[in-house]
Structure 1
């Protein structure tokens, strides 16, 4: 009788290597490909095509900065073509590293991946700046200062979205909350003659939009995206009406350009590049840092945060253990609206300008994109807001370069730059961001 021998599994080191080899994701090549294309374009456009004799200056230390013995140089000139090529090649090296790791099925994850992406982004942006500012000086401190000013309303708006959507309520009405906050800050501040009174009034005014959103989305269970859009239109119409009928008629009484005082922290504010950015700001900037830290701890390290996230993920399960789903959602929407109102105050009393029609100018929608890009996390939302604000600050600085300097980028493209960055940034994460499971889903108590 013949016997059939069954194939046996490989034994020894070969089997160990076969079982230890990780499996590559289906689209493992996408991220390295995108980064490689961007790096090659930077080498060609920012480097090879740059004029050979041009120079770009980087302002490191400004007059008045802490600079013992002058050891930190003021303006550092670099050859435009060489510096842009070197920076782009370093960015390409990061992309190649990701290629190698991804091809081997060992794509870095978590913090290592984020670190590599941030490193690539910094190198690519520096290569772009070197090319874009040829014949001019990049004032790094001034650029970051502008970025911070533009990031504050976006960050407050994104934090408002985090608070609402972690509890399961889609907050499209951030635009209206910013607008009502800006309107209330100027109106109350002008009548009382105090910017501090305007600061207190801004979140209270934004609560009007928040209460309407909670009433229709939670109380009457209306489709939340539609409610948010309608509330934005309502906010634009109502503030435009009062602006045209009240503020324009007597701007000295109802629409004065007030400004919160700048709080300067001695010595720290004199640190080169980042001193004035972090330690010479209005109270709104310091509040932004405090709220981001407090909200991060509260959401992920406290019982309150656990309940909020439970309501946003599985409200029925939360209800069965005694959590009041409706109250939790109401309180989070109202709290988020108040936070957005502080962002609205930044648009007026935070910068010293009077109220203008539709002055939020789509910042609420960009804040919503920052919330998504930040993966519904306060720190991530802040970093995304800083990214979008940097793109906006860059276009403002490039458009103000003297004639005959810079790369001659068309002004129309510069105006599109912040929105292009927003579009590509969000497009790169949509589909990979885990949205709270019950986000936008009304809850009916059984």
Structure 2
């Protein structure tokens, strides 16, 4: 009877100790306060007395929604008051040792976006925000980020930090352009180009896996070197081979948009989700497969166990090196597939360094999404929206300085990762080589 009583006597204090040491982050309230103050200063120093109009449907939508016109000053300052209230509520919650819920962060983000868009449109030459075009363009810019984020999630979940996403995207873009150009046919060329892009992504991943898993080289260093290598190699081949033979090697047929009947005519979401190319529809399937596979299959359980505790996985018979190698290769195929979107879905030709840091933004989406494929996808959509917002504001003639619009996607990335992500913990063994004892 003595041992059980002693066990219970020590168990209770341990639980109370764990509860009392729970970390409650002040990041969200501080970020709320900073953003609210910045918006208030912006609205005070640049007052716009006009109205703002939001267009909610296009001419081809099945249901036509009338435009919404709102007063610029009234809307912006109403939003500022609501943002202030949310900041106070979030601070009170943290003070009471409660975490700030996700839905409150979402409401704050939506109100801040409405205030900023209203202010920007009210002072523009054409005070109309075309929401369908803004959202459809945001998804288009998010596609390579989403593929890169899924690549990062799989790689880091299995225990390998993949800094080489940028190189894998760029290799996929280059290879798809060349192969699709050589094939030339309208449908066969892009399809074969997509397959070649996936293969090129796997080849880059092979190099990363070989050095990181077999030879225990620092994974971050290998990733950085691979990025430099792919950038240098593709730039050299572009200058020496593609540019002199552009008609033959750098004129790939682009993927055509395939509108889905009825769904593509739904206002707002129709143009965004259902008037897209084959690669975007494939992206929807890949997101679902990665999520279900990662959390609801034996493959996903093995993958996550290798990333969390490789020694324990090895003890129950899982080959750690093989599991890491093949899953890093799978991640590379996904990234290479996404790189093809640059040449086959967006630009229509390969250019030097055309990924423009998308791989690093994808890494930020992985961290912001807490190594979850759905959350990482949403984070990539956020960064894509920020990138397209600068284009929309330029078109309508917004008074926002061009320099600010150029840095807007990166400002959003920094705020999201540093301000709203809170305390996160990645896979325990990510970046750590496993040496079998």
TM-score, with length taken from structure 1: 0.88
Q: Which has the higher contact order (CA 8 A, sep 6+)?
A: 2
**Residue 50, structure 1, aligned to residue 44, structure 2:** no
Where is the helix percentage greater, Structure 1 or Structure 2?
Answer: 2
Shift of 1:240: 1.2
Aligned runs of 1:194-233 on 2, under 5 Å? 194-233=189-228
Residues 142 and 384 of structure 2 are in contact (CA less than 8 Å); yes or no, is this contact kept in structure 1? yes
Which of the residues 347, 353, 358 maps onto 1:358? 353
1:114: which partner in 2? 102
1:143: which partner in 2? 134
Aligned runs of 1:46-85 on 2, under 5 Å? 46=43, 49-52=46-49, 54-67=50-63, 72-73=65-66, 75-85=67-77
Shift of 1:288: 1.4
Q: Give structure 1 stretches of 5+ with no counterpart.
A: 1-18
Which of the residues 259, 263, 274 maps onto 1:268? 263
**Residue 433, structure 1, aligned to residue 424, structure 2:** yes
Query: CA RMSD for the aligned pairs?
Result: 1.9
2:155: which partner in 1? 164
Shift of 1:333: 0.6
Residues 42 and 85 of structure 1 are in contact (CA less than 8 Å); yes or no, is this contact kept in structure 2? no
Shift of 1:155: 0.5
C-alpha distance 265-137 of structure 1, shift in aligned 2 (>3 A):
same
Aligned runs of 1:21-420 on 2, under 5 Å? 29-46=26-43, 49-52=46-49, 54-67=50-63, 72-73=65-66, 75-108=67-100, 113-134=101-122, 135=124, 136-193=127-184, 194-402=189-397, 406=398, 408-420=399-411
Q: Give structure 2 stretches of 5+ with no counterpart.
A: 1-15
Shift of 1:250: 1.0
Q: After superposition, give the CA deviation of every residue in 1:182-210 in whole Å (9 maximum; x if it has no partner).
A: 01111000001111211111101111101
Residues 31 and 420 of structure 2 are in contact (CA less than 8 Å); yes or no, is this contact kept in structure 1? no
Secondary structure of 2:331 counterpart: helix
TM-score, with length taken from structure 2: 0.90
Shift of 1:280: 0.6
Secondary structure of 2:435 counterpart: coil
Secondary structure of 1:57 counterpart: strand
Higher radius of gyration, 1 or 2: 1
Shift of 1:212: 0.6
Secondary structure of 1:348 counterpart: helix
Residues 294 and 300 of structure 2 are in contact (CA less than 8 Å); yes or no, is this contact kept in structure 1? yes
Residues 147 and 392 of structure 1 are in contact (CA less than 8 Å); yes or no, is this contact kept in structure 2? yes
Q: How many residues align?
A: 413
How many Å separate the matches in 1 of 2:240 and 2:308? 45
